[in-house]
Structure 1
Amino acid sequence: MSQAHENRTTSTEAPERLTGSVVVVALVSAVSGLLYGYDTGIISGALLQIGEDFDIGSGWEQVIAASILVGAVIGALSCSWLAERRGRRGTLLLVGVVFVVGAVAASLAPTPFLLSISRLVLGFAVGGATQTAPVYVAELAPTAYRGRLVLFFQIAIGVGIVIATVVGASESVPWRLSIGVAAVPAALMFLLMLRLPESPRWLLRSGDADAARAALASVRPPERDLEREFGEIRENVEAEREAGTRGWSGLRAAWVRPALVVGCGLAVFTQLSGIEMIVYYSPTILTDNGFSDSTALRVSVALGLTYLIAQLIGLAVIDRVGRRRLTLITLPGAAAALFVLGAFFATGNDGKSMIPWIVGTLITFMAFTAGGIQLMGWLTGSEIYPLATRAAGAAAQSAALWGTNVLITLTLLSIMRTIGTGPTFWMYGLFNVAAFVFLYRTMPEMTGHSLEEIETRLEEGRFTPAGFAR
């Protein structure tokens, strides 16, 4: 283990106080997460109005819903490249501009085709923000506050989903306004970024030590001794430069592959869990099966609130229960809820008298999946990869997550039309069973282990559940 790693693990004292710049960093993290949750969630209620305005069927609805996800894949991959070459701050400023342009263009789109293209542009910003913002925040935040700033990002996603479902459920807000209003927080994010410096770590990697020192000083209290922290960053950057396994090519190394398999597999299963089916299409699914629009939209709000509450509970207990254990405990509950939902629809028990049972089962599913596997998709990307491949690994994991999301969104309504609502729920229940088997066999318990310990076990070929148990 390098000296830089040893120094980093021992430097855990918090600064005496938070600076205004660090508070702005927290706000940027929160706004980017909120935009992610809102822009992906608002389509759930808006699709009911869009379908009527444009007189389109399920095929176009799937394309409109999925276009933002295709853009997110492109944004996650390209912004990973941009952030490495042009800096984190510059990339996030670009993302803020694209957020505004995409939201305004989508709200004014005169045809389904142009609406899809506008949401593709908006998706670029969503993917870019989710890829770049956590890295930027982690590199600016003091060590003692880093976890809480990541928490802001995760919780803000849930807040964005809740706001989107409330707006959709009101039915009085035109879909153009509900989509276009996202330009306001996007503009706020851009203005907040103007106050912040470039990442000191990126500046040092680019060879500008003076600018790196000035950037670090701007986000630390004046009384803070910067020499130790700046020395750790310098040693860490030098260790990255000397690493034999680096970047995208490093992900192909045999000893890194187990982390890539677990990370990308987990990202895929977070989407195959059925969460996006419920977030994007629950109003459409329910109205297609005889529910009124108002009932379906109120259910969507309840599901959004459940998502947020379950995330808060999961984040509160994850370090005590453990990442692996929490995931394996909650997956069977999610699978069982989907099997029960499938039985309701497959046996014709989906009438008005069954509404409380259907809604209760949907909420149960949302609680198990949001408080379990959904917490892991973004968290593991920052933990399981070696330092020199961490940015590339996180980008690959993001692309796997968004790519699976695209596939689901483009096919879900067509699958339901073909095999029925009940069997579709059963299919996703089986995906949760497969996720349990996959993660039980491959995912180690990383809670309580430092990033350096995780990397050491990778190097030793012990990145397995048994390898972390001893």
Structure 2
Amino acid sequence: MMSNTLSNDETGAQADAAAVRKAKRFILLVAVISALGGALFGYDTGVISGALLFMTPHFGLTPFLEGLVTSSLLLGAAAGALLGGRIADRAGRRPMLIGAAVVFVVGTLGSALTPDIPILVISRVVLGLAVGAASVVVPLYISEMAPAQVRGRLVTFNELMIVTGQLVAYIVNALLAEAGAWRWMIGLATIPAVLLGVGMLFLPDSPRWYAGKRRFDEARGVLHRARSHDEAEQELAQITAVNDHEPGTSGWRELRSRWLRRVFFIGIGLAVVQQITGVNTIIYFAPTLLTRTGLGEVASIVATISIGAISVLAAFVGLLLMDRVGRRPLLITGQAGVTVCLVLLGLAFLLPGGASWVSYLTLGLMVIYMAFQQSSVSTVTWLMITELFPLKIRGFAMGVAILVLWLTNFLVALVFPPMVAAIGGSATFWVFAAMGIGSLMFSVRFVPETKGRSLEELETDMRQRYA
């Protein structure tokens, strides 16, 4: 009898261990497939840095038109973020990502095959719609699928895929630079877009979206695929309790609640903080800036690969640290480092151009800047925007926050080339440094810690804290 009992216990333990391994594989598959949207986001924002050098003489672009071509994607992304969040709340996270994949293909082909500037700008706006929608829905989907103890790492994996997409774009730019094949640089993004659309066909929607629609059996089914039995039932009970406490999904009218206004304000502030120090001016215009220091066009494009490589490495470091040291200390440290780098970049642009050491000093400061930005500021921002908002307004609020993020990105990218032409690189980077000081003050004063708790626990805590 004793032997049979031990045998049954061992069999049960083995079955539980097998279920846990299966759940981990499922969550990893969810993260990998959905984060293809992040890779597309990164590729489409990074590829313009190299393509722009060849598009400028091809179309006769002025500094204003350079800014317009670059920033048109960002304007589309702002609209896509708002629409993507609302549609994801109504129709689901999964259908929204499938739709975004289709729009990625359409916008990419339009941009790559464009015969003139108006069609190029329109196509990049369409492409931006997909980028914006993916920037909201991918981290939202992953955060709602992931267990609390690894949520930081899995959502940050999307940020890793974003910078990996940028690195791939820089490498593709370098490989095709000698031929000036900017159409191929842009058009290759159709490959991951197709993979995203096909992959999402085989995944379910998030359990929290199902629960928000009162489809609790489907929510339970997804949780049992992604958790152990006990964890799934416990988490479902938390989700159900929150839905029973505040049922329904809404929008602006919910901001009449004081605690929701406070949380909404913090989320919007984080979105501005992530962009206002000019991170994407480095991503979009690094080759252009390096040519101003005397480096050749092809050499500038090849040198930009180092920015992409350090971004990937830094995002991986951020992924490892996120669930260990916490979001808030990582954010504050990164903002301080970014601000110092901006001051030094301003000084570098005072040096006489033409000497190779000036070019490589400028490149080195850009690399250090990106190391601070991607290991902390960007990773924390994208993660915390998925964690702060309660379920009933999560898609809507994330959409608005990322709308603000993309609009800030758009304005910075639009004014950057004329600003550098008007006041010079030094003054431009010192303006960004001043913004960095303001961002640091905001984070110290307002940003809470969100590490290690379920989304429902965070919602309960913030309701009590800001009531």
Between Structure 1 and Structure 2, which shows a larger proportion of helix residues? 2
Partner of 2:189 in structure 1?
Answer: 182
Change (3 A) 1:353 1:200: closer
Assess if the C-alpha contact under 8 Å between 1:17 and 1:221 holds in 2: no
Partner of 2:371 in structure 1?
Answer: 367
Q: What per-residue deviation string (whole Å, max 9, x for no partner) do you get for residues 58-109 of structure 1?
A: 1111111111111111111111111122222221111111111111111111
Give the CA deviation at 1:195: 1.4
Moved more, 135-144 or 75-84: 135-144
Give the CA deviation at 1:454: 4.3
Q: Which amino acid in 1 is paired with 2:122?
A: I
Measure, in 1, the Cα distance between the counterparts of 2:429 and 2:324.
32
Partner of 1:18 in structure 2?
Answer: 22
Measure, in 2, the Cα distance between the counterparts of 1:18 and 1:229.
18
Match of 1:111 among 109, 112, 116: 116
**1:151-170 mapped onto 2 (5 Å cutoff):** 151-170=156-175
Change (3 A) 1:228 1:436: closer
SS in structure 2 of the partner of residue 196 of structure 1: coil
Partner of 2:40 in structure 1?
Answer: 35
Measure, in 2, the Cα distance between the counterparts of 1:396 and 1:62.
24
Q: Which amino acid in 2 is paired with 1:341?
A: L
Matched, 1:68 2:73: yes
TM-score by length of 2: 0.87
Partner of 1:338 in structure 2?
Answer: 342
Measure, in 1, the Cα distance between the counterparts of 2:442 and 2:347.
25
Q: Which runs of 5+ in 1 are unaligned?
A: 1-12, 464-470
Moved more, 290-299 or 452-461: 452-461
Measure, in 1, the Cα distance between the counterparts of 2:145 and 2:443.
32
Matched, 1:194 2:194: no
Give the CA deviation at 1:349: 5.7
Change (3 A) 1:168 1:95: same
Measure, in 2, the Cα distance between the counterparts of 1:224 and 1:320.
25
Match of 2:252 among 235, 248, 251: 248
Change (3 A) 1:221 1:339: closer
Assess if the C-alpha contact under 8 Å between 2:42 and 2:166 holds in 1: yes
Matched, 1:408 2:412: yes
Q: Which amino acid in 1 is paired with 2:202?
A: R
Assess if the C-alpha contact under 8 Å between 1:68 and 1:120 holds in 2: yes
Change (3 A) 1:347 1:32: same
Query: Percent of pairs identical after alignment?
Result: 36
Give the CA deviation at 1:26: 2.3
Measure, in 1, the Cα distance between the counterparts of 2:353 and 2:288.
18
Give the CA deviation at 1:166: 1.1
Assess if the C-alpha contact under 8 Å between 1:14 and 1:143 holds in 2: no
Assess if the C-alpha contact under 8 Å between 1:29 and 1:150 holds in 2: no
Moved more, 74-83 or 376-385: 376-385
**1:45-444 mapped onto 2 (5 Å cutoff):** 45-141=50-146, 146-170=151-175, 171-172=177-178, 174-209=181-216, 212=219, 219=225, 230-241=236-247, 247-348=251-352, 351-444=355-448
Q: What per-residue deviation string (whole Å, max 9, x for no partner) do you get for residues 167-225 of structure 1?
A: 112214611111111111101111111112333443444355555555566x4599899
Give the CA deviation at 1:317: 2.0
TM-score by length of 1: 0.87
Change (3 A) 1:226 1:113: same
Moved more, 337-346 or 143-152: 143-152
Moved more, 200-209 or 339-348: 200-209
Assess if the C-alpha contact under 8 Å between 2:81 and 2:135 holds in 1: yes
Assess if the C-alpha contact under 8 Å between 2:262 and 2:466 holds in 1: no
SS in structure 1 of the partner of residue 352 of structure 2: coil
Q: What per-residue deviation string (whole Å, max 9, x for no partner) do you get for residues 139-163 of structure 1?
A: 3445565444323312111110110
Change (3 A) 1:215 1:371: closer
User: CA RMSD for the aligned pairs?
Assistant: 2.8
Q: Which amino acid in 2 is paired with 1:279?
A: I
Measure, in 2, the Cα distance between the counterparts of 1:21 and 1:453.
24
Moved more, 318-327 or 362-371: 318-327
Assess if the C-alpha contact under 8 Å between 2:152 and 2:319 holds in 1: no
Change (3 A) 1:77 1:434: same
**Count of aligned pairs between the two proteins:** 448
Change (3 A) 1:148 1:438: closer
Measure, in 2, the Cα distance between the counterparts of 1:132 and 1:454.
20
Measure, in 2, the Cα distance between the counterparts of 1:191 and 1:157.
19
Q: What per-residue deviation string (whole Å, max 9, x for no partner) do you get for residues 393-445 of structure 1?
A: 22221111111001011110011111111111111111111111222222233
Measure, in 2, the Cα distance between the counterparts of 1:366 and 1:252.
38
Give the CA deviation at 1:348: 2.8
SS in structure 1 of the partner of residue 258 of structure 2: coil
Q: Which amino acid in 1 is paired with 2:119?
A: L
Q: Which runs of 5+ in 2 are unaligned?
A: 1-16
SS in structure 1 of the partner of residue 35 of structure 2: helix
Partner of 1:466 in structure 2?
Answer: none
Assess if the C-alpha contact under 8 Å between 1:108 and 1:176 holds in 2: yes
Assess if the C-alpha contact under 8 Å between 1:93 and 1:193 holds in 2: yes
